[in-house]
Amino acid sequence: MNRRTLLRGAAAALGGGAATAAGLQVAAEPADGQTGLTLEVSGDDATIDSDGAVASVTLDIDVEWQYDLPDATAPETVVVEVAAGTDGALSVVASAESAELFAEADGSESFDVGLLAEGALTAADVEPDGSGTRETTVTIEARLRVESSNGSVLAKESTSDTAVLTVTREGVSASEYGAVGGDGSLTIGTSSTE
């Protein structure tokens, strides 16, 4: 059994876990070697009152990666990126680079990032209009890139998972139904000292 067969077996063991996992995608091209990523993201739910708002959405994620390049290659850098968004519009919210000089390696990167602060989501993307419940499907994508010293990409891979954010607004905001207005004027009164 060669290294590549062993890598495929290890990749299947890593990706076979939970029902919500996006699964492991392994791309095998002789020139680029083999790469692997695992990714599983769970959603959350929250309840806000009638005048409440979503203040933050935090992604806390560990990305596991691996690659197996042909022996003649000379990798120098591994880049791991995390992108997030809704409706297919993803933006990179975090990245990490590490030096890797071996033709075969694996590792993990941990990220803790605010999706509202990074602009991947807005509060309006997840809050219901008025009272009720809104479910928002957020796509999280992990990307792996192995580069040589001259910046050539020796191997790359990406995998994604979706998570549902559920926000329920209890009651109704009175400000949605009330109105106030009018007109007026200010008058200055003076007095004489004589």
CB 120 within 8 A of CB 93: yes
Q: Which of 24, 54, 28 is nearest to 40 (CA)?
A: 24
How large is the average pLDDT for residues 107-136?
A: 92
Task: Give the model's pLDDT for residue 167.
Answer: 94
CB 147 within 8 A of CB 99: no
Among 69-73, 112-116, 175-179, whose mean pLDDT is lowest?
A: 175-179
For the entire predicted model, the pTM comes to 0.70
Residue 112: is its pLDDT beyond 90? yes
How large is the average pLDDT for residues 66-70?
A: 91
Instruction: Give the percent of the chain with pLDDT over 90.
Output: 55
Instruction: State pLDDT tens for residues 36-65.
Output: 677 889 999 999 988 889 999 999 999 999
How large is the average pLDDT for residues 175-179?
A: 68
Residue 139: is its pLDDT beyond 60? yes
Highest mean pLDDT out of 12-21, 46-55, 117-126: 117-126
How large is the average pLDDT for residues 107-125?
A: 93
